[in-house]
Amino acid sequence: MKTGSHLSIWFFTGLCLGVVGALIFATGIYEIMHPPVNKVVLFDLHANVWWGAILLVSGLFFGIHFSPANERKRMAGKSSSV
Amino acid sequence: MNLALLLLSPNRLVHLSGVDIVIIIFYFALVLGIGFYLKEQANTGEDFFMAGREMTAWVAGLAFLSANLGSLELMGWAGNSYKYGILAAHWYWIGAIPSMLFLALVMMPFYYVCKTHSVPGYLKLRFGEGAQAISSISFAFMTVLMSGINMYAMAVVMKVVLGWNMHFSIWVSAGTVAVYVALGGLRSAIFNEVLQFFLIWAGALLIPILGLIEAGGWNGLQAKILQNLTELNVPNPGSYTHLWSTLGNFNDNPMGINWAGIVFGLGAVIAMGYWTTDFLVVQRVLSAKDLRSAELAPIIGAAFKMCVPFIVILPGLLGLALLRDPQGHLLRLVPANLAWSPQGQAQGLHGYDEVLPLMLARYCGPGLLGLGITALIAGFMSGMAGNVSAFTTVWTYDIYGTLINKNATDDFKVKMGRWITVIGVIVSIFTAYIAAGAPSIMDYVQALFSFFIAPLFGTVLLGMLWKRATPAGGWTGLLAGTLSSIGMYTWVKIDPNAVRYVALSMDAQDQAQNMFRALWCCLICVIVTVVVSLMTKPKPDSELKDVVYGLTPIPKTEHASWFHSPIFWGAVVAIVFVILQIIFW
C-alpha cells in the first residue's frame, strides 16, 4: 500500500525480511566455520546460508524499491504528469 | 530463583539460541513500532474501523488470507494431515477456493456498493434491526471467546514446544496485539497481517523443501508413508495420499466421510458460510479502495490459499514418513489430551499438533528456528488481531451504535473503538484462563461457532439474490437453522448412535459430523426462509436498492482490458484448482 507521504507496508516488509535474512545468513556462515556438535538433519545443505541470502535479497529489494525517498520520487512524478 | 527459570520449563521440545531470541524480539519491536507509527493515521471512524477504505487489492487480499492463517490453523491442520492424510487439503482447496471466488465475483459487489461497515450491518439494511442484533451479538460473543481460547491453546503449545511460562505467553502476545490494534485500528491490523503473511511463508516454506529432499520427492514420500502405515497396521494405508479416490465409501478413508460430505457439507455450506459471511475475513476486503480491488482481493487470497497446503499439509505427511524416535523406531503421534497429560509427558509422547514444530526442530538450526517460531507467533497474533478488530467494529457500529446510542459522534466512536480493543483483549485473556480450567470447552465453542455460520450463509445468500425474501423470513430462517444445528449436535451427544442419521454413517469422525450438520441446518434455514417469505409481505423495491440482485446498479469498473478483469483472474485460479484436484486425485 502506498500512502503518499507515509511509509509503505512494503517498506516495513523489506525491513523485516532484510534484518531477519541478514541474521540467519550470518549465523549460517558462522556455522560453516564452526560446525555445531548437534547438527540438524541435512545440515550439509547449509539451508541457513542460502535461505538467509534469499530473505536478505528480497528484503533489500522491497526496502529500497519502497523506501521513503523512492516513494517521494514516485509521488512527484505523478503530480507533474497530472 | 531467577527470571529465566520462572519463564522457562526444563521440559521443552526445542532450545532457542541467542540469535533466535534476537529475531523474536526484533519482530515484537517492529509490530509495536508500526502501531505507534500508524496512530496518527487513525483519526476518523472510517480510518480506524475501515482503514480509510484505501487498501490496494494486494494488501487487502493478503490481509484477507492472513487473518485466517493463525498459528493454530498452521499447527492444527498440519496435525490433521498427520491424522487424516492428504484429505486435510480439502479444507484449503474445495473448502476455500470456490467460496473465495464466489465472494469476489458474486457477493462483493453488494457488500461494497451498500457501503456497510460489517456483515451484521448488511443484515440490518436487508432484513432490519432484529436480524442485525442477533447476528452482531452472537458474532461479538463468539469472536472474543474464540480469541481467548485460541490464545490458551497457543500458550499450551508454546509451553510444550519452547517451555515458555503460559502466563508470559498469554500476556505478552495479547498485550502486543492490544497496543497495535488500539493505536492504529484496522489499518494497523492489516499492516501487521501483511508482514505476518511474509514471515509465515519465510518461516515455514523451508520444511517442505528440505522434507521432500530427504524423502526422495513426492513418489518417495508416498512410498515411505505406505511402508510406515503398513508396518503400524493402520487400515487403508494407501488412502493417506489420495484426495478423492477414497471418498466413494465412508470406511475407505481415515476421516470416515464420503464425497457428498466434502462437496456439499464443506464446499457448499461451511466454506461458503465462513469465507463469505464471517466478518473477521470480509472486513479486510471491505477496506479495499474501489470495487475492482475489492473483487480482486479475494481472488489474490485464493491464489495464495491454494499454495498453503505446501507449508501446512505437506509437513504433516512428511511427519508420517520421516519422524522417528531417538532409538530409530517410528514415532507415532497421539491425540493432544493424551500427549499433554502428566502421564503422556512422562512417557515423552507428542501430540498431532506438534508435528510442525517437530519438523521445524528437525531441519532448522539457530536463526532458522527463531524465524520458524516467529512465524508461529506471527500467525497467532494475526489471527487474534483479526478477531479483535472485527469485534471492535461490530461492537461500535452494530451493538453500541444501533442498540445503545444511535447518536454517537464519529470522534466518540473512534475513542470507543480504542477502548473496546483493550477491553476485548482483556476479556479474551479471561476467556483463556476459563479455557485452561475446562479443556473440552474448545470443542463446544467450535461447535457453537458453526451453529451460527452455516445458517447465516443461507440467510445472507437469499437476502442478496432473492428480492422476495422478507424480514420475517430472514429472521425465522436464521433462527430455525441455528436451533436445528444445536438440536442435531445435542442429539448426537445424548445418543451417539444418532450419528448414523446426522452424518449418514457410524464411521463419521468429528469433522465429518460437522460437515453434515452444517449441510442440514443450512438447508433448513433456506427452506424456512422461503416458506415464511412466501407467506409474509415483502419489502417494496425502493427499500431494497443497493442490497439485492436486480435492484443494485453495479458500477462499471475502470479496468481497460480483459487482463485486468477480476473474472479473468478468477477463471485462472479456478483452472489451477481443478488441475490440483486431478493431480492428487
For residues B350 and B339, give the distance between their C-alpha atoms in angstroms, rounded to a whole number: 5
- Per the structure, the count of domains in chain A is 1
Q: What is the pLDDT of residue B11?
A: 61
Query: What mean pLDDT value characterizes chain A?
Result: 86
* CB contact set of B479 (below 8 Å; sequence gap of 6+): B134
**pLDDT at res. B455:** 85
Q: Which residue has the cell 472474543?
A: B144
The whole-number pLDDT of residue B1 equals 46
CB-based contact (8 Å) between B32 and chain A? no
- How many CB atoms are located within 10 Å of the residue A82 CB? 4
Per domain, the residue ranges of chain B are 3-434+441-556
Q: What was the pLDDT predicted at B437?
A: 65
Residue B140 confidence (pLDDT) = 86
Which residue numbers in chain B have pLDDT < 70? Answer: 1-13, 71, 436-450, 511, 556-560
Chain B: closest CA distance from residue A14 (Å): 9
Is the pLDDT assigned to residue A82 strictly greater than 90?
no
Judging contacts by C-beta atoms under 8 Å, the chain A residues touching residue B212 are none
CATH 3.30.70.270 describes domain B3-434+441-556: no
In this predicted structure, what is the pLDDT of residue B350?
82
d(CA B259, CA B239): 14
pTM: 0.86
Q: Are residues B324 and B54 in contact, defined by beta-carbon separation less than 8 angstroms?
A: no
Residue B320 distance to chain A (closest CA, Å): 16
Distance between A80 CA and the closest CA of chain B, angstroms: 22
* ipTM value greater than 0.85: yes
Does the residue A37 lie in any domain? yes
Of B59, B190, B202, the CB nearest to A55: B202
Could you say which of A23, A36, A47 has the minimum Cβ distance to residue B210? Answer: A47
Q: Are the CB atoms for B462 and B131 separated by under 8 Å?
A: no
Q: Which residues contact B14 (CB under 8 A, 6 or more apart)?
A: B161, B162, B357, B360, B361, B369, B373
In-domain check, residue A46: yes
Task: Give the span between the Cα atoms of B134 and B126, in whole angstroms.
Answer: 14
Q: Is A22 on the interface with B (CB under 8 A)?
A: no
Using the Cβ of A70 and the Cβ atoms of chain B, whether some distance falls under 8 Å is answered with no
CB contact under 8 A, A41 and B213: no
Instruction: Determine the structural domain holding residue A42 and report its residue range.
Output: 9-75
Calpha distance B414→A49 (Å, rounded): 46
pLDDT at B325: 79
Per-residue pLDDT reduced to its tens digit, B351-361: 888 888 889 88
Rounded to an integer, what distance in angstroms lies between the CA atom of residue B431 and that of residue B420? 16
Chain A nearest CA to B205, separation (Å): 10
Q: What angle do CA B452, B457, B462 make, to 5 degrees?
A: 130
Q: Is the minimum CB–CB distance between A32 and chain B shorter than 8 Å?
A: no
| Alpha-carbon torsion (B46, B49, B53, B54), positive or negative | positive
- As a three-state string, the secondary structure of B463-514 is HHHCCCCCHHHHHHHHHHHHHHHHHHHHHHHHCHHHHHHHCCCCCCCHHHHH
